[in-house]
Structure 1
Amino acid sequence: MPEELDSTPYDALLLLSFGGPEGPDDVIPFLENVTRGRGIPQERLKEVGRHYYLFGGVSPINDQNRALLDALRKDFAEHGLDLPVYWGNRNWAPYLTDTLREMAAAGRRRVLTVATSAYASYSGCRQYRENLAEALATLESEGLEPPRIDKLRHYFNHPGFLEPMIDGVLASLADLPADVRDGAHLAFTTHSIPQASADTSGPVEGHGDGGAYVAQHLDVARLIADAVRERTGAEHPWRLVYQSRSGAPHIPWLEPDICDHLEELHAAGAPSAVMVPIGFVSDHMEVKYDLDTEATAKAEELGLPVRRSPTVGADPRFAAAVRELVVERAATERGLPVRRCALGELGPSHDVCPVGCCPARAPKPAAAGADSPYA
């Protein structure tokens, strides 16, 4: 029997994710949930919906989360961590409020949450915390006692997140034709966000109150590129690029776009490229469509050999990383010394988001932070 690990004071873990449609009839209602309050016309929703219909109206993210749930529960059981794992989504079933209602009814009082987003930004962290606060307020209005929720720190530089991506790049390089393999460029991709949001993401050591989103991705890209060089003996040029922009044309967003970058690589004579989606935990629609469909079609048009390396998904090393982060945070809450595992130049992220971290244009209450009404 494994030695029992102590998660005290926590009595549950919540896997917090984005959600996605699971059939053609779900697509437009799901997109309405995602864009509620933004005044997006139905015509635009139908245009985006076509991406989902190419895959039968099903986003892969929910099945990815089911696989991750299974991996977490298996890892916890094998390592003696007696902590139930729940799952709630922002935009589709199982909805976050319903899951928290279930947890409150089961008597869960201290909950840790891990979001399927590894980096600091409004959409990747603060918005999830706002959703948590809104759901907890709903429970309180129903006469239920809302649990206290803490959020695991950003895990972008944890070895259990990095190692699966390193192996994925190595496998993708090996899959390229031998005559274009050694000169392959690495295009590290992540979700483009407004430049203003990127500038106020954080804080991060050496970057003041903002700039964490780009700095964290650059650190991850550098770590993976260095590991690939050490294991293959080949130096692969790399760049951080962006995808999935959805904002108004007049608002500056992070660039270059992956398709523009592929054109630049081809024009410069690059023999091949590997697209490495470091900004995404699993193969959801923005990976399956924006990279596997749109960017791959662009590469074929150019005659540029490309491969897309896998996301971390439910890799057992990632499940183990979550377990380690749970035990680390629990020990910290009990006042015990802990070893905070992190690679790269930036070190481990903060446990508690400070006041004003990753602000929105119209701030809302947010749980799991220094300014949380549910702390």
Structure 2
Amino acid sequence: WAADIPNSQGFIAELTQGISLASYRYRDFTAKPRTEKQYHFAVAEPKVAKTNHLKSAAIADGVALARDLTNKPAAELYPESFADAAKELKRLGVKIKVLEPKDLAKLNMGALLAVGKGSERGPRLVVAHWQGSDDAAVALVGKGITFDSGGYNIKATGTSIARMKSDMAGAATVLGTVKAMAASKAPVNLVGIMPLAENMVSGRAMIPGDVIKTAQGLTVEVLNTDAEGRLVLADGLWYAREQYQPQVVVDVATLTGSKVRALGVEYAGLFSDSEPLVQQLTYAGQQVGEKLWRLPLDPAYGEELHSSIADLTNTGREGSAGASSAAMFLKRFAGDQPWAHLDIAGNALVRSDTQLAPAGATGYGVRLLSHWLEQHKFSENQ
């Protein structure tokens, strides 16, 4: 097919990426044969077109990785096996570090350990570092609850609990983005932090009323064991700050049903006090069709987290703006550098085919974050 249009090289790259995204199928548990198709494009500047295509294909591969991980059943994907999948990125030059429960204990990561202690498969913290430049790091922190039963505040319906294999989609997005940047040799110093745990029910599990101590030193009264994502992110955000001193931090999480009730599945929720960061991420989302809508990050929501026996609770008042109170919880651990929280609940899975994704995992956020990372020189913009 010959393209004779302005900026055809970039257009062809976007078109081929769209074809790749739309043709994705998760095939670990089906014998259906895959039909292969080939497309041929004639372009005026082959070298430019090839360069654009390689970058575009790297992002599509990152999306595919995020989709594969999110689609896997929880029996196949748990903290240790997620860590094994991350190790595959070593071939691209990504440095992988895996912290096991004994390592987490030495770092006093009481929140991540508390969420994971109900499972026989212990928690992990995975670090994936692509050092494509000598600039200060950009940190992405992804929620990695590989299965969320709700704990003792168990999820009430079979429909909701059956989809909870996807509660690690934030971590999958982070790992997919690191892969995209590494595969394209992007000139960015990117570190992905993925706290991973199964939130299960057992005689060892965290129970409502427990008080846990985070790595930052703040204590949390656990009023609801189903508000566990913010707990693992608390330790993940602390680790990113302490170990890498990043110039900017973005966390990604399927965090709250409140976000879905507010925005549905068309937009992900964006929370940040950094106006430049809000503008950058919003624009990146518009460019790739992964839209963000800014929701309030207000001290009033933080006041709902008052505890009479600890530094804060892990939930706000019943019936309140849960997405905003959750974001205010995270803000206590985010640090002073620019930070944004992306709540992708409702965006990580689709029930029916869309133009770019079959039913199932979408890999939402990989294209958005990749576009943002490629477009900004952070030391000049933050």
Does TM-score exceed 0.5, indicating one fold? no
More strand by share: 2
Larger RCO, structure (CA 8 Å, separation 6 or more): 1
Q: TM-score, normalised by structure 2?
A: 0.28
